[in-house]
Amino acid sequence: MTAESKIESLVLGGGCFWCTEAAYKLLPGVKHVTSGYAGGKEPNPTYEQICAHTTSHAEVIKIDYDPAQVSFDTLLEYFWKVHNPTQVGGQGNDMGPQYRSIILYANDAQKAAAEKSRAAAAKIFRDKLTTEIVPLVKFWSGEDYHQDYFAKHPNEGYCSYVIAPKVKKLKHALAG
């Protein structure tokens, strides 16, 4: 990394953060991905509170990336490929508001890019997109045991049956 490199961040959610974290770690230019919570009003949310629906937060990831290596627009284009932005109330069998499709913007430029990206994606999907685009008020890092979950537990049931096939498909798409 050069002295001029500047790391920027994007926060988004597309279902289980274990899945989206594993997916974004595949992209060149992504320097770090942190699983956490955002989009709600409760301070210091915990995984248990999120699962009990006692907060309005979503499971999200904070993507730290080098814009000289990967653009914000590319990160957003990838977002539409790593989850189903038309599903209401969750992703696959992961149901609940914490698994909603959401992009949290940090500034007006991110908001405009997210809205433009959503409009382009809407032309591709047959069903209506459910993705929220909302201001990022605060990102709360998830508990340590959620970080790098797929990398640490590749043989755990959910990882091997849900995440591994998705990662394999994404690796193939990125290589081709």
SS3 annotation, 133-149 = EEECCCCEECCHHHCCH
**What Rg, from alpha-carbon coordinates, does the chain have?**
15
Per the residue annotation, which of 16, 19, 51, 159 is the catalytic one? 16
Is 16 among the catalytic positions?
A: yes
- Residue 161 one-letter amino acid: Y
- β-strands 101-105, 94-95 pairing: unpaired
From the list 73, 134, 70, the residue with the least C-alpha distance to 104 is: 134
d(CA 75, CA 72): 5
d(CA 148, CA 25): 9
d(CA 88, CA 99): 9
Structure tokens at 1: 């990394």
- Residue 21 one-letter amino acid: E
Q: Are 79 and 103 in contact (CB under 8 A)?
A: yes
Catalytic (active-site) positions = 16
